[in-house]
Amino acid sequence: MAIQRTFSIIKPDATKRNLTGAVNAVIEKAGLRIVAQKRILMTRAQAETFYSVHAARPFFGELCDFMTSGPVVVQVLEGENAIATYRDVMGATNPANAAEGTIRKLFALSVGENTAHGSDAPETAAQEIAQFFAGNEIVG
Ligand code: ADP
Ligand code: MG
């Protein structure tokens, strides 16, 4: 399996509870390397662009409110099969359904305030990374 990159966000519920390091420890223990990372306050426009695939969903407004409610940590993760590996490490969207030891089982508060984002495919990973990072900000 090839080395891949995926895009990750540590969401406001986690930064608020000072869990950035705890989430990063789970990421690194899973063998993923954090090759870019910055703490930002997402603008409304950035959140709406990022989640545009969900624009018609009933939770879209609430999701954009949440993602702009406090700092987030945007990251690029690198490793073997990184996209699927990180989805496994995060666990199910709803923490009630997430497996033991996953980020969402360990830390998420609800289906909305669920601590982490991870890309779902190579195309979305490339697009999401490009939304937040210039090439020279990623150091593998
Ligand atoms: P994932 O983040 O696991 O890829 P989705 O792409 O389906 O999940 O949803 C994007 C984000 O929207 C979720 O991580 C969560 O923050 C929020 N979300 C999803 N479903 C709901 C819901 N039913 N109610 C509120 N927020 C939701
Ligand atoms: Mg998704």
CA atoms of 118 and 10, how far apart (whole Å): 9
pTM for this model (two decimals): 0.98
**Which residues lie below 8 Å from residue 65, measured CB to CB, with a gap of 6+?**
none
Whether 8 and 63 have beta carbons less than 8 Å apart is answered as: no
For 24-58, how does the pLDDT look when each residue is reduced to its tens digit (9 = 90+)? 999 999 999 999 999 999 999 999 999 999 999 99
Can you list the positions of beta strands (E) in 41-119?
72-80, 116-118
- From the CA of 107, how far away is ligand 1's center (Å)? 15
Is 54 a catalytic site residue?
A: no
- Atom 9 of ligand 1, nearest CA residue: 93
- From the CA of 51, how far away is ligand 2's center (Å)? 8
Q: What pLDDT score was predicted for residue 114?
A: 99
